[in-house]
Amino acid sequence: MNALADARAWLAQDPDPVTRDELADLIDRAEGGDAEAVADLADRFSGRLQFGTAGLRGELGAGPMRMNRVLVAQAAAGFARFLTGRSGGSVPTIVVGYDGRRNSDVFARDSAELFQGAGLDAILLPRALPTPVLAFAVRHLGAAAGVMVTASHNPPDDNGYKVYLGGDDAGAQIVSPADAEIAGAIQAVADAGSVADLPRSEGYAIADEDVVAAYVAQTAAVSPAPASAAGMRWTYTAMHGVGWETLRAVLEQAGYPLPDVVAEQIEPDGAFPTVAFPNPEEPGAMDLAFETATRTGAEFIIANDPDADRVAVAVPTGSGWRRLTGNDIGLLLGARAARAAEGAQGASLACSLVSSPGLGAIAERHGLAWHETLTGFKWISRAPGLVFGFEEALGYLVNPDTVRDKDGISAAVAVLGLAAEARSRGASIADLVDELADEIGHFASGQVSIRVDDLSIIGRTMASLRADPPASFGELAVERADDLLRPADGEPGGDILRYLLAGGSRVIFRPSGTEPKLKAYLDVRASTAEDARARLASLEEAVRARLA
């Protein structure tokens, strides 16, 4: 079938008036010879968003290459078939959550109706809530699975569909081969006919507020406020997301003083009006937080991303505000966990292989195991003996017995505990970073990212690196090159190139799993902070030159 025929068939089953009008207009224009409309339809019907270990994620709009009610219906019905097939005859329970993005609530209700119509016991969370609450609810309710409708920190026009499994998977995100099996079931639904023919039921349950209350109680217990927290002045932004209501309840139960909030960003708003890109890592995203913190004399800033599964921290300097890197925070929280677990049989720390190797130095110092995994908490959360895990993209798992995924609420509470403990001796979060570096060595990490409009550029660049391997980056010779498409025994595998350099530095290239980016991760280790910064700057320059 050609794109026009595919578009007409899609239009006939689309229940959403917005995307119906959008698609009908494109069809009319394409039939009239509008070249732009023809190209747009060709793009939207060139395939379908691929269901993988990160679920689904894409731009809102009509067609199988966009996020919309037809695609979500196919995904829900396919996932229901997968769960029924592995249930052994019992009725699976599935929990559905959603954040404040555009259409998140619609996609969630559609999913709940389709799950219930397919014979599952579906439970919809009571309102827009952080992703960690959904991940918690899967375990807390003993569910077979969970679905969270969110695109996390992606651009405003995106949405997504994240899947968790209960049982032996303990509430973690899906991994292979489940992703391929689910994708196959979804494709079978799409091939079978119109989503209008799928059975639906409004008999699904709405989760009791006790679920949220249980999450709040267990998260508050991560780090109850010590006496030194009294009078602590800090700033918080929810980045137009859903984190504040839940975080506030946790703070009140844990005993921390409430922050000065960034008023313009504290309520959920799927349009994200004050930020071009609602990711605390992006330039400009925390500018309003810096202004608020400067005005109020804050000791530090904490930011969640829109679904509150990530957390960012900034500290004051003599010339403004410094955002701590994801590795800075990860090493602080890792040292916190290592101190608590020291001597525990089988306890381990884990991070993705593109995160700071400083976590390994912390583990060694405290007699713990250390695991490097593929990127993503679906892998980190499965590390044996895990007491703490992180990845440099602001994701932290500080409470694995409660949530088997990154959790920006519990991580924020753990940071508050560290800040309060430092405060008791006249120190700051910035002091903690320096003190840890003095203990384990000065690790510096950087990242070079190339955002592309054409995804094939990423593939060509990775192919070029494989075909013409670099012998050095600047003055640093490559001592070992690992292509993790063909990993050694015991190594994680993926589209990753790792170069170990002279002097203990390293460079890792990988395509982003959630954005159209090629990323290079850089790590150096030195005896002083100044030397580490100088080495990192030189390495960044060399990597940019290689990618130019």
Taking phi over 0 as left and psi of -120 to 50 as alpha, with beta for the rest, 185 belongs to alpha
**What's the average model confidence in pLDDT over 103-111?**
98
442: pLDDT confidence band, cut at 50, 70 and 90?
very high
CA distances 536 to 44, 275, 442, 498, Å, are 41, 29, 11, 16
Structure confidence at residue 257 (pLDDT): 98
Structural contact between residues 340 and 350, judged by C-beta atoms closer than 8 angstroms? no
214: pLDDT confidence band, cut at 50, 70 and 90?
very high
Question: Quick check: 488 pLDDT over 80?
Answer: no
Return the percentage of the chain with pLDDT > 70, whole number: 99
Number of Cβ within 10 Å of residue 394's Cβ equals 28
Return the percentage of the chain with pLDDT > 90, whole number: 90
Q: Would you call 530 helix, strand, or coil by DSSP?
A: helix
Structure confidence at residue 52 (pLDDT): 82
Q: Where are the domains of the chain?
A: 1-46, 52-207, 223-433, 442-547
Catalytic residues: 152
CA distance 259 to 416: 11
513: pLDDT confidence band, cut at 50, 70 and 90?
confident
pTM for this predicted structure: 0.93
**What's the average model confidence in pLDDT over 439-446?**
93
Secondary structure of 160-216 in HEC code, one letter for each residue: EEEEEECHHHCCEECCCCHHHHHHHHHHHHHHHCCHHHCCCCCCCEECCHHHHHHHH
Question: Quick check: 536 pLDDT over 90?
Answer: yes
Question: Quick check: 1 pLDDT over 60?
Answer: no
Summarised one tens digit per residue, pLDDT across range 308-322 is: 999 999 999 999 999
Q: What is the mean pLDDT of the chain?
A: 95
Q: Which of 308, 352, 381 is nearest to 445 (CA)?
A: 352
Please say whether the structural domain 223-433 has been given the CATH code 3.40.120.10. yes
Structure confidence at residue 13 (pLDDT): 97
Summarised one tens digit per residue, pLDDT across range 252-303 is: 999 999 999 999 999 999 999 999 899 999 999 999 999 999 999 999 999 9
Q: Which residues of 313-352 are buried (b: 16+ CB within 10 A; e: fewer)?
A: bbbbeeeebebbbbbbbbbbbbbbbbeebeeeeebbbbbb
Angle between helix 408-423 and helix 243-254 axes, rounded to 10 deg: 40
In this chain, the answer to whether the domains covering 223-433 and 442-547 adopt an identical fold is no
Rg (CA), the chain: 24
Summarised one tens digit per residue, pLDDT across range 334-385 is: 999 999 999 899 999 999 999 999 999 999 999 999 999 988 999 999 999 9
β-sheet bridge partners, residue 460: none
Which numeric CATH code is attached to 442-547?
3.30.310.50
Structure confidence at residue 516 (pLDDT): 86
Non-local (6+) Cβ contacts of 260 within 8 A are 233, 234, 235, 236, 292, 293, 296, 298
Summarised one tens digit per residue, pLDDT across range 52-94 is: 877 999 999 999 999 999 999 999 999 999 999 998 889 999 9
What does 502-525 look like in DSSP terms, one character per residue? GGG-EEEEEE-SSSSEEEEEEEEE
Strands 369-373 and 145-149: unpaired
Please say whether the structural domain 52-207 has been given the CATH code 3.40.120.10. yes
Structure confidence at residue 514 (pLDDT): 67
- Residue 54 phi, psi (nearest 5): -100, 10
